[in-house]
Amino acid sequence: MQLNKVYSLVIGLFLSSVLTSCAEVNGALQYVHIGTVNETQIQAYVYECPDNYRFTVGVKDNVARLYFPEQTIKLAHAFSLTGAKFSNRDATLWLKDTKANLEINSIMHEGCINNSDKAIWVRAKLNGVDFRALGNQSSWILEIVQGDNIIFADYLLQIKQYLFSNPDINTEVSTGKTIYTASNDEHSIVITIIGTPCQNIISDEIFDFSVTVKLDNELFHGCGRSLI
């Protein structure tokens, strides 16, 4: 696919995904997946129930998968008058808006609510993102997809996005740094990932890695985590 075609699709995906409210700055960042150009992405949800039960769901092509540490359960789409229903002989899942009900092992878990902040990261992982980072002060997102594509998106004042492919990767064992270097027809980017803990000053969340992004002559600081 030619680069200009990639950018056209990237822009469309980005504009349809970014939140328009200030809530995203406070940690409820809408997931932006444009490192891999794929229109049929896996939609992901992390449901937390009033009975303290929690489960993760991935939905693609009318198939739902329940992800548990010990197993993955595949559910086929079933007829339902309201919402979406997925079922097999062992479990039945109902999805409607941000809520879900799950019957599994003859136990019903009702009124489960999607945790959008956690679901963002699950969706990234299911769609092939190796590493994801967020800005500390300015609003930006970085994603590295399967080591081949880099997407950097800055949307503090206006939406700006940059796609880079086939980066050079240099790991400095002595300093614990991994450096990605890439360029396209208009811009260059240098990403430095250091294995030291980093606290996001907006959400107070602790991440495993400190991240610096140099886009052309502009420097950005933030925190990230590996999704591998």
For 134-193, write each residue's pLDDT tens digit.
998 768 999 999 888 999 988 766 678 899 999 999 998 888 899 999 999 999 999 999
Residue-level pLDDT at 158: 66
Q: Is the dihedral of CA 218, 219, 223, 228 positive or negative?
A: positive
pLDDT per position as a tens digit, 91-106: 999 999 889 999 999 9
> Among 23-27, 143-147, 161-165, 214-218, which stretch is predicted with the lowest mean pLDDT?
23-27
Q: Give residue-wise pLDDT tens across range 113-135.
A: 999 989 989 999 998 899 999 99
Least confident of 77-86, 149-158, 206-215: 149-158
pLDDT of residue 156: 65
Mean pLDDT across the chain: 83
Per-residue pLDDT averaged across 50-62, rounded?
Answer: 95
Question: What pLDDT does residue 213 have?
Answer: 96
